[in-house]
Each structure stands twice: as C-alpha cells, then as structure tokens.
Amino acid sequence: MARTPATPTLLDLPPEAAEARLADWVAAAGLPAYRARQLWPRLWQRPAASWLDVTDLPSPLRARLEAELPLARLELATEQRSQDGTRKFLWRLSDGELIESVLIPSGERRTLCISSQAGCALGCVFCATGTMGFRRNLSPFEIAGQVRELVLRDPADKPTNIVFMGMGEPLLNWEAVDVALSLLNSPEALGIGARHITISTVGIVPGMEALAARPSNFAWRSRSTRPPRNGAWPSCPSRRSTTWPRCSRRRWPSASGSPSSTC
Ligand code: SF4
C-alpha cells in the first residue's frame, strides 16, 4: 500500500510561504523583525544543518528554533563513486524509504539526477526502479533536499544542472514537484536557472500542461519505450529540449539492500 510523506516542515513550503511563516514565528516570539531576515537564508541559500549550528544567533533562540521549527534532513545511507567521477547517493527518508541521486561532473558542469518518488508505478521495461513498484510520493523537501544535502556536505558540490531522471515519474507527483521547482529555481532558495532544470517524463499530459503553464521556462524531455500515457504524444505548447544527460538509463552495481538502478 502506498505511504504518505512525513509531516510537512518549513522546508516543504514554497519560498514566499516559508518566509512568511518565519516572519510570523519571529513576531509571535516577540523578536525584532530583523531576526526573520537573519534566519531566512539559512533554509536554502546558505543552508544550516541544524539551527544549533547558526552561531550568530543567541543560544536560547537557537534552542527554541530547534525545538519549534527543526530543519529536516535526508540521511545518507550509501555513497558510491565511479572512476569517471560520477557519484551515487542513497538517501534514507524519515520513514525508512530509500531514494537515489546521481551527481555527474562534466567540466565546469555538475548535473544532479534527482528522484521525485520512492519507487515508481509505471514499470518501464528497461528500468529497475519500475520493478520495485510504487512506494510513495516525495514531499517538496525530499525532492529539493537532495540538492540541499549536497550543499551541506560540500558547497563546492552544488549542482549547476538538475534532471528529474532519478526514481519516479515527476509529473505523477506534480503538487510536490511544482513546489520543489520553486525551491530549486528561486534566487531566494537554491537559485538554479530554469533552463538548467530538466523534467523528464513518459508523457503525463495533465502534468505537462501544468508545467507549461508555469511562468519559468523549465526544460522537459520525454522518455519512453512504450506508448505514451493518455493517448497520442501531445504537442507541448512550450516544447523545449536540452542535451540528454549522461545519467540516462545508467545502470549501477547495487548496494546491499538498495534499489539497483534508476532510469
Ligand atoms: S524509467 Fe522512470 S518512469 Fe519508467 S519505471 Fe523507471 S523511474 Fe518510472
């Protein structure tokens, strides 16, 4: 049976909503408004692993933030490195589900292939994730947090490009992917340019229409070895394409107990 993501946190909110919630919290705590401006960049721009690490804040405030607005994390279960510098990360979510990200360096470019679901319901014939079945949708934080965790570990690893080609069909989790795109793209959050973010889909028409309706020009790419969903291939009103990233259908040796590969 499909499970649901953990309780939403501050990091699951779109940038404007998170900023407003922080401002409300600061006001309710009787603190000066500048404290909200001090806290806000530590969500995504200069992420903090924990409020306890933000040493420019008074110790009592750090403790209160940690108790009332804790910063969610993804736990690194395994990291594998290949000889060409490609790195695969296996993340354990708060409920024990496992998802993957793959960081692919190429010159000045660092492309991160991220997951949008735990497992996948679509069962594409070439894909090991499809054999797992669908476990659950990821929350906005669990999607954009795959980038946040890399930045926390080493800011030099911050990806220049994002491709939604890890586990799952992103347009079947549109509500969370929509928020995650804002977190990835907003200059107030991770600040990765829209044209450097590619959504790969088997062709979920309602999701493609929702993606095309967004103001930013995100790239998209079709992927399928079987007939498209919802009938004939649509002619997307904002058809855009980018270079097919090297993680396409990459197969990995499986870590013990981990999913064996993604698309
Ligand atoms: S290729 Fe993508 S959409 Fe198809 S089963 Fe694998 S994860 Fe799902």
Indicate the pLDDT class of residue 144, thresholds 50, 70 and 90: very high
Q: Ligand 1, closest atom to CA 202? A: 3
Q: How far is the CA of 108 from the centre of ligand 1 (A)?
A: 28
Are 211 and 220 a contacting pair, CB within 8 Å? yes
Dihedral over Cα of 18, 15, 66, 138: its sign: positive
The predicted structure's pLDDT at residue 8:
75
Query: What is the tally of structural domains in the chain?
Result: 2
pLDDT number for residue 185: 97
What are the DSSP calls for 112-133, one per residue?
A: EE--SEEE-SS--TT-HHHHH-
Quick one: 183 and 117 in the same domain? yes
- Is 120 touching ligand 1 by the criterion CB < 6 Å? yes
Residues 182, 56 within the same domain = no
38: containing domain? 10-68
In this structure, of 4-13, 93-102, 221-230, the range with the lowest mean pLDDT score is: 221-230
For the domain that residue 180 is a member of, what is the CATH number?
A: 3.20.20.70
Q: What is the pLDDT of residue 96?
A: 96
Let me know whether 46 and 79 are in one domain.
no
Domain assignment present for residue 168? The answer is yes
Q: Is residue 63 part of a domain?
A: yes
Same structural domain, 151 and 39: no
Does 159 lie in the same domain as 132? Answer: yes
For residue 137, being part of any structural domain is answered with: yes
Region 220-238: mean pLDDT is 46
Instruction: State whether the beta carbon of 99 lies less than 6 angstroms from ligand 1.
Output: no
Give the range with max mean pLDDT: 10-14, 202-206, 216-220, 255-259.
Answer: 10-14
What local confidence, expressed as pLDDT, does residue 2 receive? 55
Nearest CA, atom 3, ligand 1: 169
CA distance 61 to 113: 36
Q: Decide if pLDDT at 66 tops 60.
A: yes
Residue 207: inside a domain:
yes
Percent of residues in the chain assigned helix, strand, coil, to nearest 5: 35, 20, 50
Task: Classify residue 236: in a domain, yes or no.
Answer: no
Same domain, 89 and 136: yes
Question: Are 84 and 158 within one domain?
Answer: yes
pLDDT in tens, 198-213: 999 998 999 999 999 9
Is residue 3 included in any domain, yes or no? Answer: no
Domain end among 48, 68, 88: 68
Residue 56 lies in a domain: yes
From residue 16, how far is each of 22, 71, 72 by CA, in Å?
Answer: 10, 17, 18
Encode pLDDT of 155-177 as tens digits. Answer: 999 999 999 999 999 999 999 99
**Is 84 found in the same domain as 42?**
no
Chosen domain end from 222, 237, 256: 222
pTM of the model: 0.85
Domain end, chosen from 68, 87, 113, is at 68
- For residue 130, which atom of ligand 1 is closest to its CA? 5
Whether residue 18 is found in the same domain as residue 115: no
Do 100 and 193 lie in one domain? The reply is yes
Q: Are residues 106 and 54 in the same domain?
A: no
| Residue 52: CATH number of its domain | 1.10.150
178 and 62, same domain (yes or no): no
C-alpha span between 13 and 139 (Å, rounded): 10
pLDDT at 241: 30
Q: How confident is the model at residue 232 (pLDDT cuts 50, 70, 90)?
A: very low
Q: Is residue 263 within 6 Å of ligand 1 at its C-beta?
A: yes
Residue at 237 is within a domain: no
